[in-house]
A = this chain, B = another copy of it.
Amino acid sequence: MPTLPDSVTQLLRDGLGVKKAAARVRSIDDVALPDIRLPAPVAERLTAVVGPEHASSSPDARVRHAFGKSTIDLLRVRGGNAASAPDLVLSPASHDEVLKLLRICSDERVAVVPYGGGTSVVGGLEPDARGFAGLVALDVRRLNALVELDHESLLAVLEPGLRGPEAEELLGEGGFTIGHFPQSFEYATIGGFAAARSSGQASAGYGRFDELVLGLRVATPAGTLTLGRAPKSAAGPDLRQLILGSEGAFGVITSVTVQVRRTPEARVYEGWRFESFAAGARALRRLVQEGPRPTVLRLSDEAETALNLARPAEIGAGSGAGALAIVGYEGGVGEVAVRHDQASAVLREGGGGLDPDAGESWARDRFRGPYLRDALLDAGALVETLETVTFWSSLDGLYRAVSDALRGSLSAQGTPPVVLCHISHVYPAGASLYFTVGAAALEDPIAQWRAAKAAANDAILAAGGSITHHHGVGIDHRDWYAREIGELGVDVLRAVKAQLDPAGILNPGVLIPGAGR
């Protein structure tokens, strides 16, 4: 675990009033696990499907499948509270085994949480299993093959349990890449990317993961769905888009056909400094609307720039003024050169000045941010991120509304926060905002954060934003999500769920309010 630079320790003490380090449990033996509720005969039937070596009720297995990676999850781990742990962890090796497990769980009314990389930050791994005969985690880690690589169509058929680096390594041997690099990349899985509509740091160039998915196989309690015979089609509603984002509530994704690209020959990352967040946002908007489009586009607001958050290794090391953009290009050597020159002209016209080192240091350290959080929590800070997305014309209002809500709630609790923000993903019609919040932790930091987050969520909806751009819905966003799509939208989801999962065993309470209860 990284240690905090002195500058950060000083910021915590002087800036946020952090006074004392937080306590945490020492080892897994101190974590309180709930009693196993799953009846032994049912556990035996389920175990027989996967084989005893791929089924476990050990405390270690149960604890490892009890949490995601939100700050609330980390706080619960630290507090030794594993109330959400499954009774049994099962690792099937095939689509057919998944189908069999789902049928048994349906018959016996056992709740199922599909588990990939465990990187949910929205409570996606804590279904509400009240009223069920138990809870099992269906861990897809053994479904980890590159099934097919179609060089002509640039398609890879991947199993859901492949983690980001594993998938990239398998594809890289053939000279291909998905180009999907979210911050969770090192742990998150292909199935999770699809089920939760992940979006990576190079989405401007490669697209969101949901845009790259052209085929899906899904095991549901009602049978198998096989979707996607073509990149696009007019054959009715796009049912792939009903499974993408379904977060395990409709079925378990057992195969994903994903668009790949040839591994880029050239990669260039640069920093560009703008006088203000607004000026930088205008330049990014022009690039994404009129081209040429860089592969990576990200813009920190003034506060985040000042704190150097885009370069985790140098946080607090003193950054310049204004708003720092990271602009990256990946592709063929000649193509990157042309695109770089054209885009640089647009950025310069938009008032940007080149900051040569910032790009490469961002690229080097870009997966490092989340690891700092543990050290910050240890030091007695409360740190968390949240994100949203809207159209460009509403972006400034959304930015202000969410910042104000976070500041208002945390200040009212006596812990005035630092609120940082960046534009993390851009589209011709809009952009996402990614907020990082830090404050001194109160005695009950979970309640402290829940209050701040609720205020932010209300502000997001009031300002016209979507409740999530790429973190997903889970349990944490569920009630705001229901407001976002309206009662009739929720009814549609319930109808689909009732068809695919009549017993309501899949991730009850995740995504859909009241589902499976």
Point out residues on A near B: beta carbons under 8 Å. Answer: 150, 152-155, 196-199, 208, 210-211, 214, 220, 222-227, 229-239, 241-247, 259, 262, 285, 289-291, 332, 335, 338, 342, 389-393, 425, 427-430, 432, 464-473, 477, 481, 484-489, 491-496, 498-500, 511
Contacts and interface: CB of A to CB of B under 8 A. Distances in A.
Nearest to A460: B229
A154 to B, nearest CB: 6
Contacts of A485: 227, 235-236, 239
8 contacts: A152-B391, A152-B392, A229-B466, A233-B466, A237-B243, A238-B244, A488-B500, A492-B500
Contact of A499 (B155, B199, B492): B492
Given A392-B152, A488-B224, A198 B234 contact: yes
B489 A155 contact: no
A89 B98 CA distance: 51
A429 B154 contact: yes
Nearest to A488: B223
Contacts of A338: 338, 342
A235 B466 contact: yes
A241 B210 CA distance: 12
Closest 4 A/B residue pairs (Cβ)? A241-B241, A231-B427, A233-B466, A197-B234
A392 B247 contact: no
A71 B234 CA distance: 20
A400 B429 CA distance: 41
Contacts of A425: 232
A244 B235 contact: no
A220 to B, nearest CB: 7
B241 A245 contact: no
B486 A393 contact: no
Contacts of A468: 233-235
Given A225-B486, A231-B428, A332-B290, A239 B492 contact: yes
State the copy count for this chain: 2
A10 B353 CA distance: 68
A226 B487 CA distance: 10
Nearest to A500: B492
A28 to B, nearest CB: 31
A233 B469 contact: yes
A260 to B, nearest CB: 9
A227 B485 CA distance: 7
Given A235-B485, A237-B242, A247-B236, A389 B226 contact: no
Contact of A469 (B211, B222, B234, B238): B234
B500 A498 contact: no
A225 B466 contact: no
Nearest to A229: B466
A98 to B, nearest CB: 15
A238 B429 CA distance: 17
A144 to B, nearest CB: 23
A491 B481 contact: no
A245 B390 CA distance: 24
Contacts of A243: 237
Given A199-B234, A230-B465, A232-B425, 13 more contacts: A153-B430, A155-B429, A223-B488, A231-B389, A231-B427, A231-B429, A232-B389, A233-B467, A234-B245, A237-B243, A238-B241, A239-B485, A492-B499
A493 B241 contact: no
A332 B345 CA distance: 15
B235 A473 contact: yes
Given A150-B393, A241-B242, A499 B491 contact: yes
